[in-house]
Each structure stands twice: as C-alpha cells, then as structure tokens.
C-alpha cells in the first residue's frame, strides 16, 4: 500500500469547494486597525489561510455527509447512537460510552464526579480546558511531562511522555488517596502536539496499579499519537493504527475525547469509563446539562459524522498525509531560520517568537507582533500562545508578568488545505523573516478581566 515515491499526495479528491475571498495588504491593514490588532476580531471571510485552530475546522468526507443524512433524531435510543456507540466501543474498548457536545463537557462531568477540593489530578500536561475544569472543582492539576518536553529545541521521539520518577514522587507527596485519576494527553497538545510512547503508557500504568489509581486518556488526538508510535517505536511498524490504539486503550480505565480533533467532526465529544458506579453518576449529570444519554447534547446526525470520522482517522494514508503536511511546514520554516518547537508535532507548528524577535520584550508581546504581521503580509491567521494569552498579574504589585514562552501556533485543519496553500504560507514567512527586525511590539489598551486574548485591544508601539 505504501507508495515508493517521495511526494506524499493528499489521499482524497475535492468534491465541494468553499471560495476564498482574496484581499490585498492594503485591505488587511485597514481590517487590522478595525479589529484593534486582535485576530479573534477578524471576520473569517477576511482570512486567506486560517490556521487559528485544528478544532472542528476540518473537512468532512462524502461518507460523513451521507451518514449525516441518515441521522436518527429520536430523543431516546436512536439508531445513530447505536452506531456511534458500537464504533467507539470497537476502537476504544471501554464499557460505558457517554456522548457530550464537546471535549470540555466530558471533562466537566468527569471532574464533577471524581474530584473533591483536596483532590489532585496528574497529567503529562493538562490542556487548558482540562486544567480549568479540574481547578473549577477546587482541585489541583499537576503536570509531569519529561524535561525534554519542556525544552523547545530538544529532539526526542516521544516528548509527550510522562516522567515516571516525577510520577512516583507526586503520588508519595500528595498521597494516593487524594489522586482520583491520572491522565495521559495523547498527543500532548500543550507541549506542541508531541506523542506518548506505548512503553511510557505501560510504565505509567504499572506504577498506578501499585496504588489503585485509574488511568484515563485525554484522547483528542489518539490516532495521530498511534501513527507516531508506528513510525518511531520498536515493535509497532507492522501493526495497524487500530491495533495500536486498541492496545493503548487496554491500559486505560476510561477517557475523555474531543471529536472536533481526531473525531474528524465539526462538533462532539465523549466520555468513557469501565466503572459502573461512576458511569451511573456521570449519566445523571449528563441529563442535567447535556441531554439524554443517547444523544448528550448532539444531534443524531452529529453522532453519525463522528462514527464515520473515527473509522476514517485510522486510515494510515490519511495519517501519513496529515503528519507529512505538518512536518513539511515545520521543516520549511526551520530551514528559513524560524526557531520552532522540534520536532514538529501532529497537528501544529509552533514558532518561538521570543527567540525570533529578541528586540521585542515579552511584555510587548513578540508572539502578537509575529501573528499580526502574518495576517498583514499574507492574510494568514494564527494564534499567540504567550504573554497575551497566558501572562499573569502579580498579586501584590498588580504588575504584568510574562508567560514562560512566547509562541505562535500554526494549527492545521484536517483535510482542508492543499500543498500550494502550505507553500504560500512558507513564501509569506520567507518575506517576514527578512524584515523581522523591523517588527514592533504591541501595547494592550483595553482588556477584560478574564481570557483577555479573545477580546483585548492593542496598538502597535
């Protein structure tokens, strides 16, 4: 099945198209002014290449659209739920499958049921909504990724791995009785979409077994993770992606899932567990805020799209193309001279704007500066992951504190862009690299109390 040619082609043809409205630099200078230099305020039709997120932004297949037409919208016991449940059970192997409207709803229900204010949740790295849902219960969210995962330039095949020594210490420090579950995020989104190895999962599970702590997966990019295992871990190159996923899930006691990622759907998620008593409580909460357990806040047609998407994401030629696209962008940016998180992960390339724009201090937001310039120069929308989004305020002095890193994330929607789109991004970035020392910092002139990156207003300095 594997092609002997070096060019990895898109393993699909295009059946429906959505036109892009072309804009000029002059148009975009005005659009930026009107948006107060906040890319979240730019209208989607004014973006040429939208790399803001890979969440729910992918293209669905003709099979998914056909399945949607067959959506059974019965309130209880719909056929769409039965098909969805059968697919999830087959791939993930858990006993109870609870649909939710997206990943964070699964998280909220899970942590409401298992957390007390004294609880501690361990993870390789908590995704931001996961951390927020843990902390909302008054509990602690602790990250235990290996040191290599915190070093952007360091090359390691499984930078998402949990540090097992840190894990042992954390269990002794917090006490097993305070740790309702330990999680592994596959791939590790916060760390740059970096994979976790099967061996690491086995080691983590072995330690958790000694203390009777269940292991849960935050499975948003489970298929991309499995592809990296097939590519990089000894003993897996002959296994199918599905076999790899199935093996990994046997080490788990449950999972949360955002179907907006490797579910290949525009909306949806689910929560799985093998624990009967827990499932009962989770379903009661589900009815309270999401809906009846056979739809959980989704339309029957959404369940159909996810059921088909979960099978399609296991296709190796799809994953090969997916990872090649991200790698291609990462390697080209790196060749131009951009410092990026190495090696490129599954779903996104992250540029280290602090290293790139040394003349802009962190509190003048180098990541914001680069992402605004990418939009101005080429109509490319990305997201700043740095002091705008994650900066803190000193409790005593009220002064702004910078974030640890100043990154710009180029997330790649699934099956959405062609090679020439990516080549265009590379060409724009080449031009930006030449003038990088002329870019200015930004100042926030208006901001809300929480989550300022969505609505803050800026002026260039």
Ligand X SMILES: *Cc1c(COP(=O)(O)O)cnc(C)c1O
Site residues (CB under 6 A) for ligand X?
55, 102-104, 127, 129-130, 185, 189, 218, 220, 258, 260-261, 269
Min. distance of Cβ 218 from ligand X in angstroms?
5
Query: Which three-class secondary structure string do you get for the chain?
Result: CCCCCCCCCCCCCCCCCCCCCCCCHHHHHHHHHHCCCCHHHCCHHHCCEECCCCCCCCCCCHHHHHHHHCCCCCCCCCHHHHHHHHHHHHHHCCCEEEEECCHHHHHHHHHHHHCCCCCEEEECCCCHHHHHHHHHCCCEEEECECHHHHCCCCCCCCCCCECHHHHHHHHHHHCHHHCCCEEEECCECCCCCECCCHHHHHHHHHHHHHHCCCEEEECCCHHHHHHHHHHHCCCCCCCCHHHHHHHHHHCCCEEEEECCCCCCCCCCEEEEECCHHHHHHHHHHHHHHCCCCCCCCCCHHHHHHHHHHHHHCCCHHHHHHHHHHHHHHHHHHHHHCCCECCCCCCCEEEEEHHHHCCCCCHHHCHHHHHHHHHHHHHCEECEEECHHHHCEECCCCCCEECCCCCEEEEECCCCCCCHHHHHHHHHHHHHHHHCHHHCCCEEEEECCCCCHHHCCEEEEC
Q: Is 453 a catalytic residue?
A: yes
Instruction: Tell me whether strands 442-446 and 457-460 are parallel, antiparallel or unpaired.
Output: antiparallel
Q: Is 128 a catalytic residue?
A: yes
Distance CA 434, CA 256 (A): 43
Q: Is 163 a catalytic residue?
A: no
Min. distance of Cβ 359 from ligand X in angstroms?
33
Min. distance of Cβ 123 from ligand X in angstroms?
10
Q: Which is nearer to ligand X, 112 or 355 (CB)?
A: 112
Considering 50, 54, 218, 302, which one is annotated as catalytic? 218
Distance CA 192, CA 228 (A): 14
Min. distance of Cβ 347 from ligand X in angstroms?
8
Specify whether the CB–CB gap between 259 and 269 falls below 8 A.
yes
Min. distance of Cβ 103 from ligand X in angstroms?
2
Matching residue, tokens 């080449």: 430
Q: Which is nearer to ligand X, 258 or 369 (CB)?
A: 258
Considering 139, 141, 219, 220, which one is annotated as catalytic? 220
Q: Is 318 a catalytic residue?
A: no
Q: Is 36 a catalytic residue?
A: no
Residue facing ligand X at closest CB distance: 103
Q: Which is nearer to ligand X, 127 or 251 (CB)?
A: 127
Q: Is 127 a catalytic residue?
A: yes
Distance CA 101, CA 289 (A): 10
Q: Which is nearer to ligand X, 257 or 405 (CB)?
A: 257
Considering 21, 43, 75, 95, which one is annotated as catalytic? 75
Distance CA 275, CA 412 (A): 36
Q: Which is nearer to ligand X, 255 or 357 (CB)?
A: 255
Q: Which is nearer to ligand X, 102 or 371 (CB)?
A: 102
Min. distance of Cβ 107 from ligand X in angstroms?
7
Q: Is 75 a catalytic residue?
A: yes
247: exposed, middle or buried (C-beta count within 10 Å: 0-12, 13-18, 19+)?
middle
Q: Which is nearer to ligand X, 223 or 444 (CB)?
A: 223
Considering 12, 36, 41, 128, which one is annotated as catalytic? 128
Q: Which is nearer to ligand X, 28 or 261 (CB)?
A: 261
Considering 37, 94, 127, 321, which one is annotated as catalytic? 127
Min. distance of Cβ 263 from ligand X in angstroms?
9
Which residues are annotated as catalytic?
Answer: 75, 127-128, 218, 220, 261, 453
């Amino acid at each position: 099945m594997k092609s002997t040619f070096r060019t990895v082609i898109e393993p699909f043809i295009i059946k429906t198209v959505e036109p892009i409205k072309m804009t000029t630099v002059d148009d975009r200078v005005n659009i930026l002014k009107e948006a107060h230099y906040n890319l979240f305020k730019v209208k989607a039709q004014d973006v040429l290449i939208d790399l803001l997120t890979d969440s729910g932004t992918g293209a669905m297949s003709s099979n998914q659209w056909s399945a949607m037409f067959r959506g059974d919208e019965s309130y209880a016991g719909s056929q769409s739920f039965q098909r969805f449940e059968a697919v999830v059970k087959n791939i993930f192997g858990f006993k109870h499958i609870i649909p939710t409207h997206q990943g964070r709803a699964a998280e909220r229900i899970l942590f409401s049921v298992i957390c007390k204010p004294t609880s501690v949740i361990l993870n390789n790295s908590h995704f931001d909504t996961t951390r927020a849902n843990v902390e909302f219960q008054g509990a602690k969210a602790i990250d235990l990724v290996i040191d290599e995962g915190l070093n952007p330039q360091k090359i390691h095949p499984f930078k998402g791995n949990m540090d097992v020594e840190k894990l042992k210490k954390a269990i002794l420090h917090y006490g097993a009785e305070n740790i309702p579950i330990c999680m592994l995020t596959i791939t590790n989104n916060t760390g740059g979409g970096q994979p976790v190895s099967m061996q690491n999962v086995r080691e983590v599970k072995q330690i958790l077994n000694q203390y009777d702590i269940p292991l849960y997966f935050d499975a948003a990019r489970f298929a991309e993770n499995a592809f990296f295992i097939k590519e990089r871990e000894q003993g897996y190159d002959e296994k199918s992606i599905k076999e790899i996923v199935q093996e990994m899930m046997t080490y788990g006691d449950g999972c949360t899932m955002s179907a907006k990622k490797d579910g290949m759907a525009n909306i949806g998620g689910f929560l799985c567990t093998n624990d009967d008593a827990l499932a009962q409580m989770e379903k009661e909460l589900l009815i309270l805020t999401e809906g009846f357990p056979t739809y959980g806040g989704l339309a029957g047609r959404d369940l159909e799209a996810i059921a088909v998407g979960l099978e399609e994401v296991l296709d190796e030629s799809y994953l090969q193309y997916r990872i090649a696209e991200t790698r291609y962008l990462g390697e080209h940016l790196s060749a131009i001279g951009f410092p990026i998180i190495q090696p490129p992960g599954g779903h996104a390339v992250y540029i280290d704007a602090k290293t790139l724009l040394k003349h802009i201090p962190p509190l003048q937001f180098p990541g914001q500066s680069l992402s605004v310039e990418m939009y101005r120069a080429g109509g490319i929308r990305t997201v700043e992951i740095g002091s705008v989004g994650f900066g803190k305020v000193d409790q005593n002095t009220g002064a702004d504190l910078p974030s640890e890193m100043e990154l710009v994330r180029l997330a790649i929607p699934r099956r959405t862009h062609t090679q020439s789109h990516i080549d265009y991004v590379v060409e724009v970035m080449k031009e930006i690299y030449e003038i990088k020392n002329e870019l200015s910092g930004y100042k926030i002139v208006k901001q809300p109390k929480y989550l300022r990156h969505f609505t803050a207003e800026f002026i260039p300095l």
